[in-house]
Structure 1
Amino acid sequence: MKNNSYMGRLELAPQALDRSFNREPIGFDHNLSTLDLFGLDSLRTLAEKYQGHDSDYMVASSASAPDQKFRSVKSANLNPSQAIDRLKTESVRILLKRPQDYDSRFQELLDGLTEQVVSLSGGLKTDRIMRLESSIFLTSAKTLTPFHFDPSAVFFFQIAGEKIYHLYPPSALTEPEMEQFYFRGMVDIAQVELNRRDPKLEHVFKLSAGKGLHQPQNAPHWVETNGDISISYSFFFETLAARKISRTRGFNHYLRKIGAQPSPPGAHPRLDAFKADAMDVWIPCRKTLSAVKSAALGK
């Protein structure tokens, strides 16, 4: 039964989160499937507000296989409202970004869940969140999201339907694989090859309403939807400490290009700090130079 409270709740032991945060996937229970703002009619009303905001949503078809290139999956020429009406008749994946910008109830939900996660983690209490966002996913039955990893710590909530989440820890990636993603200071998904992962590292979560998981930053994964329409919600963030590690990896990418064998983050903390500080200067300069070049070329 739905209710009118926007107070989301997740159930996760503090010790479990401290052991696993940004290291290993971990499951939890939650109450988001009881909240009325995730009803299909409510989400249809929300989707209508995205009209004309093309950068805030994605509508795509299913991938043909888990190892299909992420960017090669066919986009659907539909807006979110149209796509919702075709969830039962076509293979559609809908991503609504930053719903809190379109409905204040989602801001209240996001703030409450983030506060709970921070309160459960000793490390997060002394860190600073630099970037915080949320998303809603609506998918047809029997759809695939191909293998990739994200640059954020993710908390994923299954609201309705079933999803099977194939998730690997960040240790399944090599340092060069992560470095090539971070050297430009990008905030986006990253594609890696599924067949290079150790099958023994795979975690398989069978998610139904009321079940969720923590997906560590840089944890590669692919997702399949079973049964009926699936509704999911996630919020994700990057902390100051995590950003410094990302910057360190970006610096290591340049060292590797000149033939060096850089030490991984954590091996030499003082050197890591130097690398991160250097990238804090270089990334804005690089982006400025790129913008100037584009302007000069009339692009």
Structure 2
Amino acid sequence: MIPSVDALLTVDPAVYKTAFNNTPVSFKHYLHQLPMFQPDALAELAKKYGERPADYYVSNSAPTPGTRFFDVKAKTLKPHEALAQLATGPMRVLLKRPENYHAGFRELLHKLFEKVVELRGGLNGEKIVRLESAIFVSAASSTTPFHFDPEINHFFQIEGGKHYHVYRPSAVREVELEDFYVEGKIEIGQVDLATRDKSLEHIFDLVPGSGFHQPQDAPHWVQTGAERSVSYAFVYETDASRARGRIFAANHYLRKLGVNPQQPGTNPGTDKAKSSVMKVVVPVRRRIVRNLDRGR
């Protein structure tokens, strides 16, 4: 039985509502005290993932924060094997959607999400199109390279330390967002670290019991401390956040035509028209690219 969310999460409602999906904001939590996050319980959970490769990812550490995300080699280890070998060198393990493997994680996810909706002042007519969580287990001195994610994130440090460098979403240039969303991707936006505006960077030195809210498209890189790190995060997308991506995709094509397009949110009527058109165009483009890749 998961305690009430008010006993698990502490955040200033006014600060959160002002910062929501715009500026990274810290909070306190007590998730690290839950039995299902203890080492033996996590080891048992990892065993359940062995035959479901789509639900986990094991990789080496990135050599530098600026390394391109997909240049970091994946490892063929299964999650429980990787957890047993973390002491042998820098390595990262991602367990996706633990709520599908353990009822406690499903209850936790929904309780935390309900609290976040309350804190942000309701969904205001938006519909949830994706809600899921993940567990990150990393060896000491492991680096996750710089990238952004097209989803709204809440991140909780469970075990060990983690230095989390996250920028405000405005650190990603419009044309970079347009090039990403026109591909119809739903994860891992690759941008370079060297040219980011350092004034937009927030550094969270996370320890068990600390966490923060990461806005959609906020680029970040992560370094673990001198011991194993365990983190938990849940992410979600709404029809509105997905529509925002389609508006950037439409702006990609407008820019190619020599037009200087309006940012999402400038004109609701124009935004709706762009989103409706790209709801058809992006999936078709994705299928064409996929077929061309097969042909090659």
Q: TM-score, normalised by structure 2?
A: 0.94
Which stretch shows the higher mean deviation, 226-235 or 253-262?
253-262
Give the root-mean-square deviation of aligned CA atoms: 1.8
Cα contact 1:154–1:237 (8 A) shared by 2? yes
Q: Which SS does the other structure have where 2:153 is aligned?
A: strand
Match of 1:246 in 2: 245
The equivalent of 2:2 in structure 1 is: 5
Distance 1:83 1:288 in 2: 35
Q: Is the 1:95–1:138 contact (alpha carbons within 8 Å) kept by the matching residues of 2?
A: yes
Amino acid at match of 2:111: G
1:147 aligns with 2:123: no
- The gaps in structure 2 that reach 5 residues or longer are none
Residue 115 of structure 1 corresponds to: 114
1:78-89 maps to which residues of 2 (within 5 A)? 78-89=77-88
> How many residue pairs are counted as aligned between the two chains?
294
Q: Deviations over 1:109-129 (max 9, x none)?
A: 101100010011115354222
Aligned AA (1:152): E
Counterparts of 1:78 and 1:6, CA distance in 2? 35
Shift of 1:185: 2.1
Aligned position for 2:55: 56
Tell me how far apart the structure 2 counterparts of residues 132 and 146 of structure 1 sit (CA, whole Å): 24
Distance 1:92 1:6 in 2: 32
Q: Partners of 2:25 and 2:238 in 1: how far apart?
A: 19
Residue 286, structure 1, aligned to residue 278, structure 2? no
Equivalent-residue separation in structure 2 for 1:163 and 1:42 (angstroms): 21
Q: Distance in 2 between matches of 1:226 and 1:250?
A: 38
- The answer to whether the 8 Å contact 1:11/1:30 transfers is yes
Deviations 1:212-255 (A, max 9, x none): 00000000000000021100000001122211111100111111
Match of 1:40 in 2: 39
C-alpha distance in 2 between matches for 1:294 and 1:224: 35
Query: Aligned pair in 2 of structure 1 residues 206, 85: CA closer, same or farther (>3 Å)?
Result: same
Residues 266-281 of structure 1 aligned to structure 2 (within 5 Å): 266-281=265-280
Q: In structure 2, what is the equivalent of residue 20 of structure 1?
A: 19
Structure 1 gap ranges (5+): none
- Provide Cα deviations, 1:25-72, integer angstroms capped at 9, x if missing partner: 000001101101011111111111111211111111111110001111
Q: Which moved more, 1:35-44 or 1:257-266?
A: 257-266
Aligned to 1:162: 161
Corresponding position of 2:186: 187
Letter in 2 for 1:159: I
The structure-2 alpha-carbon separation of the partners of 1:216 and 1:140, relative to structure 1 and needing over 3 Å to count, comes to: same
Of the structure 1 ranges 278-287 and 262-271, higher mean CA displacement relative to structure 2 is found in 278-287
1-structure distance, mates of 2:189, 2:243: 19
Q: Corresponding residue for 1:175?
A: 174
Deviation larger for 34-43 or 85-94: 85-94
